[in-house]
Amino acid sequence: MSSRWTFALVALAAALGAWVYFGEVRGDVRKQERETAEKHVFGVESAKVTALELPLTDNRTARLERDGQNGWKLESPVAYPADPDAVERALHVLANVQSTASISPVPSDLLPFGLGPAGQTVRVFTGPGEPQTLSVGRPTPVGGGRYLSVGSDSGRIFTVAAGDVFGLMPALVDLRDKRLTRLSAGAVDDVTVRSGGQLVARVKRAESNWLLVEPQPAPGDVEKIQRMLDELSMARATDFADTPDAAATASLQNPELEIVLHTPEREERLAFGRAGDKTWLERAGDPVLLAVSPAAVSAVPAKTFDYRAKRVQTLESDQVKALELTWPRAGVTHRFELAESDWKSAEPGVELKPLKVEDMLLAVARLDATGIEPSGADRKALGLDPPAVTIRALDAQGKELGALSLGDASPDRGLPAVSSQSGDVWRVSNDLGGTVPLSAEAYTNMFVKVTPTQAAPPAAQASPEK
């Protein structure tokens, strides 16, 4: 076949493809877009709306006005910042509600449709002049719809899916800004927390970390502080008291919890109090009290320790090539070395359970505290002078990477712990004693593999080897 025919066939195929795409595919798309546009009942452009009047569930009417470029405020029946999500929901309905059917001509009696004077009227303002109107009527007898009428199209009654008009007839509480804090969690750089009037903590953001500033300086618990801010940011009020009663007001004279949130632009002060079965929030400068869930209070840690970093010791496990366990009170030391991929005892003839050694290393490599002792704590009284056991981690050159000493366990407070990486005396979970042998006898029972020629200790006989 000549190249002329080849080019001709290619051109024919391209033309056929274009015809199919533009004539059939794009034609179907345009047809569908046209049909969708024809079904739009109202079709107002959200960005052009300057004010809204919405019927409320208590038969009052709410008026909302745009406040700045992106915000909205309630003007009546109360003056208050508006819930941006609720306003956006109503605007979305007005811009997108579609009819499922229409009735034309319009019957003279509109009462069966719940329209006319009996209807719930929405007014939409896009500037000076008369508003556009939309009336929501009764549910349709079948099909789960609602009747609608539009002021600019008086010749028809529309039916729409009932769910499509959700948000056009809200309760007043739905339209009020229910945020507990109006500050962005990511913008907050300083937080002060008081419980019962006493300072719990003041923390300050330092780049990507947080620092505990008061009552004593220390690295902050970044995850816990950020989680607290996120939960406050996401929490919402359940109700409002525009004229608080005496009990609500009294609960805030000596607040259970006070929080000061600071950003480079402004500061927000929040106070929480309880009256009976209700928890109230007072925001400085706002005369209205917010009813909130008690979970909003419990989301704010009430102990200084909660705000500080809790890492007792950090080891890079892959750098640890040897471990030494010492029980100073018994004068006993055992050493393990990593040979290829298994832990071996440095003592001839002793065979270890290598997984037990690995479990111990993992437990002490990322060890977090459950509490902390006061500065100047009596180490002897805590069983740390001398300690019950000390674990030293060494690298391939024998350099110490970290050492951890454990004292005498307390049933309710845990194990006292001191790390070479910190000067603090910590408390760690008593569960650590199930991984780290607190005595030389526990080491034999937990770590040493018993062979048939050896006399097995009673503890080793009582539990299967792992």
Has residue 456 got a pLDDT over 90? no
Provide the b/e sequence for 398-413 (b: ≥16 CB within 10 Å): eeebbbbbbbebeeee
Average pLDDT estimate for 436-448? 94
Pairwise CA distance, residues 251 & 260, whole Å: 18
The whole-number pLDDT of residue 458 equals: 47
Higher pLDDT, 137 or 37: 137
Average pLDDT, the chain: 88
Pairwise CA distance, residues 399 & 414, whole Å: 30
Average pLDDT estimate for 384-401? 96
Going by C-alpha positions, the residue among 171, 47, 57, 157 that lies closest to residue 100 is 157
Q: What is the Cα 128 distance to its own chain's centre?
A: 43
Residue 241 exposure: Cα atoms within 13 Å on the Cβ side: 18
List Cβ neighbours of 39 (8 Å cut-off, separation of 6 or more): 98, 99, 100
The whole-number pLDDT of residue 245 equals: 93
Same domain, 407 and 279: no
Same domain, 160 and 100: yes
Same domain, 325 and 413: yes
Same domain, 118 and 245: no
Residue 135 pairs in a beta bridge with 121, 149
Has residue 73 got a pLDDT over 90? yes
List Cβ neighbours of 58 (8 Å cut-off, separation of 6 or more): 171, 172
Has residue 216 got a pLDDT over 80? yes
Average pLDDT estimate for 145-167? 89
Same domain, 120 and 69: yes
Q: Fill in the DSSP letter of residue 424.
A: S
The 425-428 sheet, strands edge to edge: 342-345, 332-339, 322-327, 389-394, 400-406, 415-419, 425-428, 371-372
pLDDT in tens, 227-267: 999 999 999 999 999 999 999 999 999 999 999 999 999 99
Which of 286, 307, 328 terminates a domain? The answer is: 307
The tokens for 88 are 């956006």
Among 96-105, 119-128, 449-458, the minimum mean pLDDT is found in 449-458
Q: Is residue 355 part of a domain?
A: yes
Has residue 34 got a pLDDT over 50? no
The whole-number pLDDT of residue 28 equals: 53
Burial-class residue 378 by CB neighbours within 10 Å (0-12, 13-18, 19+): exposed
Same domain, 170 and 295: no
Q: Is residue 241 part of a domain?
A: yes
In this prediction, residue 423 has a pLDDT band, given cuts at 50, 70 and 90, of confident
pTM: 0.77
In this prediction, residue 67 has a pLDDT band, given cuts at 50, 70 and 90, of confident
Q: Is residue 277 part of a domain?
A: yes
Which of 261, 277, 307 terminates a domain? The answer is: 307
Q: Is residue 332 part of a domain?
A: yes
Total residue count of the chain as it appears in this document:
466
The 132-139 sheet, strands edge to edge: 80-81, 71-76, 61-67, 51-55, 120-125, 132-139, 145-150, 153-161, 101-103
Pairwise CA distance, residues 191 & 180, whole Å: 15
The whole-number pLDDT of residue 40 equals: 78
Among 21-30, 416-425, 436-445, the minimum mean pLDDT is found in 21-30
Average pLDDT estimate for 388-415? 96
Helix 354-365 crosses helix 440-447 at what angle (to 10 degrees)?
Answer: 120
Same domain, 328 and 297: no
Same domain, 315 and 457: yes
One-letter identity of residue 172: L
pLDDT in tens, 265-316: 999 999 999 998 999 999 998 999 999 999 999 999 999 999 999 999 999 9
- Name the domain count of the chain: 3
Q: Is residue 2 part of a domain?
A: no
Residue 212 pairs in a beta bridge with 203, 218
Has residue 347 got a pLDDT over 70? yes
The whole-number pLDDT of residue 459 equals: 42
pLDDT in tens, 158-212: 999 998 888 899 999 999 999 999 999 999 999 999 999 999 999 999 988 999 9
Same domain, 249 and 137: no
Same domain, 414 and 294: no
Same domain, 163 and 274: no
Q: Is residue 280 part of a domain?
A: yes
The tokens for 198 are 């006493």
Has residue 37 got a pLDDT over 50? no
CB atoms within 10 A of CB 452: 5
Which of 175, 201, 222 terminates a domain? The answer is: 175
Category of 129 on φ-ψ map: left (φ > 0), alpha (ψ -120 to 50) or beta: left
The whole-number pLDDT of residue 203 equals: 98
Report the chain's C-alpha Rg in angstroms.
36
Report how far apart the first and last C-alpha atoms of the chain are (Å, whole number): 78
CB atoms within 10 A of CB 218: 18
Has residue 35 got a pLDDT over 50? no
Burial-class residue 280 by CB neighbours within 10 Å (0-12, 13-18, 19+): buried
Going by C-alpha positions, the residue among 419, 416, 407 that lies closest to residue 371 is 416
Q: Which domain holds residue 267?
A: 190-307
The whole-number pLDDT of residue 27 equals: 52
Same domain, 324 and 457: yes
Q: Is residue 32 part of a domain?
A: no
Q: Is residue 12 part of a domain?
A: no
